[in-house]
Amino acid sequence: MFGNWLKTAILMAGILALFAAIGGAIGGAQGMLIAFLLGAGMNFFAYWFSDKMVLRMYNAQEVDEASSPYLYNMVKELAQRAQIPMPRVYLIDEAQPNAFATGRNPEHAAVAATTGILQLLSARELRGVMAHELAHVKHRDILISTISATVAGAISSLAQFGMLFGSRDDRPNPIVSIVVMILAPIAAMLIQMAISRAREFEADRGGAEISDEPHALADALAKIDAYARGIPMQTAEAHPETAQMMIMNPLSGGGLRGLFSTHPATEERIERLRAMA
């Protein structure tokens, strides 16, 4: 728990520093001040509201025991096994099989699954996936995941609109501005990659322990990997900063998919789960 709080604090401090550096490179002292204030405001917003924004972005609809008893009761049983509060449960009307968890702590958490994953997986496989997402909640890494998704989008926007900072007199060389506009989104992506890869292994392990079926999660990952690549998810393509929240990379990145993937290789994840069993 302390480790994730420390990571979150470091990430938020890094956000302030990165915003200030981008603002300073593009707009001098004035740009640095404006970007620093923007970064502070983004940190506040990301902590309190980023989960709601991500769920709204995917048009996720909250369900309960009456509207979706199959999924709701599965999450309820797994949450009891994990000894965490019952999270809110959401459905996303998307054909691509995928799922994610969000929120700032286990008391304010939500899990979301696509309609595609409910159609693709067997009950034991879906149970493994939802246990994986609840492991994210239990490990308290949903906050850093959600914040990084929200802020990465903001960093990209800051870089794209960076030419607005500064006055005509002190605006730096346009070439410097262009370089910063290119590098800032890459920096945000690298932050996500560093956060996500080890985290997914831990959530796989924790999910296998919660469900007590490592093979079920391994089978689910193999199925999702096979099907997800051929089914685009338009929201994820439009907001690639949210890809690292999913159990499987939802992006159709072609040759760059491996280079910029925020997830470990599926084969390695499956191998580790099989070894647990």
Question: 107 an active-site residue?
Answer: no
Given the residues 94, 125, 133, 241, the one annotated as active site: 133
| 239, containing H or E segment | none
Residue 252 has pLDDT above 90, yes or no: no
Alpha-carbon distance values, 106 to 47, 58, 88, 150, 262 (Å): 14, 21, 10, 19, 23
Give the pair of three-digit tokens for residue 157.
């926007």
CA atoms within 13 A on the CB side of 147: 30
Q: What would you report as the CA-atom Rg of the chain, rounded to the nearest whole angstrom?
A: 19
Residue 134 lies in domain = 2-276
Question: What pLDDT, on a 0 to 100 scale, did the predictor assign at position 224?
Answer: 97
pTM score: 0.80
- pLDDT digits 0-9 by tens, 124-158: 999 999 999 999 999 988 887 777 766 666 666 66
What are the helix (H) ranges across 212-231?
A: 214-228
The total of structural domains in the chain comes to: 1
Give the pair of three-digit tokens for residue 212.
């007590």
Lowest mean pLDDT among 110-114, 143-147, 171-175, 240-244: 171-175
